[in-house]
Amino acid sequence: MLSERDLRELAALESPHASILSLYLDVDPRRQTKDHYRLNLRHLLERVEDQISRADREAVQRFVELEYDGSGRGLAIFSSRDLGLWRVFSLAVPTPNLVFVGRKPYVFPLARLWDAYGRFLVALVDKTHIRLLFYQMGELQETLELRGEPIKRHKQGGWGAEKLQRHEDEVAYRNLKEAAELTVNFCERHQPRYLLLGGADPTVVEFRELLPRPWSDRIAGTIPGDRMSDEVEIQEAALRILQQVERQREFALVDAAITAAAKGGNGVINLDDTLGAAAEGRVQVLLVADGFHAQAYRCTGCGFLIATPRETCPFCGAAFEPLPDAVDWLIATVLENGGQVEIVEGHPRLQEVGVAALLRY
Note the pLDDT tens digit of each residue in 139-151. 999 999 999 888 7
Are residues 298 and 201 located together in one domain of the fold? no
Are residues 85 and 164 located together in one domain of the fold? no
- Residue where a domain stops, chosen among 57, 83, 107: 107
φ/ψ of residue 353, rounded to 5: -95, -15
Q: Is residue 239 part of a domain?
A: no
Are residues 221 and 268 located together in one domain of the fold? no
User: Are 70 and 27 a contacting pair, CB within 8 Å?
Assistant: yes
Q: Is residue 112 part of a domain?
A: no
Q: Is residue 297 part of a domain?
A: yes
For residue 67, the 8-state DSSP code is I
Q: Is residue 235 part of a domain?
A: no
Q: What is the mean pLDDT of the chain?
A: 91
Predicted local confidence at residue 90, as pLDDT: 95
CATH number at residue 346: 3.30.1330.30
- Residue 324 confidence (pLDDT) above 80: no
Are residues 74 and 166 located together in one domain of the fold? no
Q: Is residue 113 part of a domain?
A: no
- Residue 158 confidence (pLDDT) above 60: no
User: Is 140 in a helix, a strand, or coil?
Assistant: strand
Does a cis peptide bond (omega within 30 degrees of 0) precede residue 314?
Answer: no
Q: Is residue 211 part of a domain?
A: yes
Choice among 19-28, 309-318, 324-333 with the minimum mean pLDDT: 324-333
Predicted local confidence at residue 102, as pLDDT: 87
CATH number at residue 87: 3.30.960.10
Rounded mean pLDDT of 191-211?
95
42 HSE (CA, 13 A, CB side): 6
- Residue where a domain stops, chosen among 196, 229, 262: 229
- Residue 157 confidence (pLDDT) above 60: no
Are residues 355 and 252 located together in one domain of the fold? yes
Give 27's pLDDT tier (boundaries 50, 70, 90): very high
Predicted local confidence at residue 161, as pLDDT: 62
CATH number at residue 131: 3.30.420.60
Rounded mean pLDDT of 303-327?
88
Q: Is residue 48 part of a domain?
A: yes
Are residues 98 and 158 located together in one domain of the fold? no
Strands 340-344 and 283-289: parallel
Give the domain extent around 149: 118-229
| Residues 6 or more apart whose Cβ sits within 8 Å of residue 355 | 269, 270, 271, 274, 286, 287, 288, 289, 292, 327, 330
- Name the domain count of the chain: 3
Bridge partners, residue 23, by sequence: 77, 99
- Residue where a domain stops, chosen among 85, 107, 129: 107
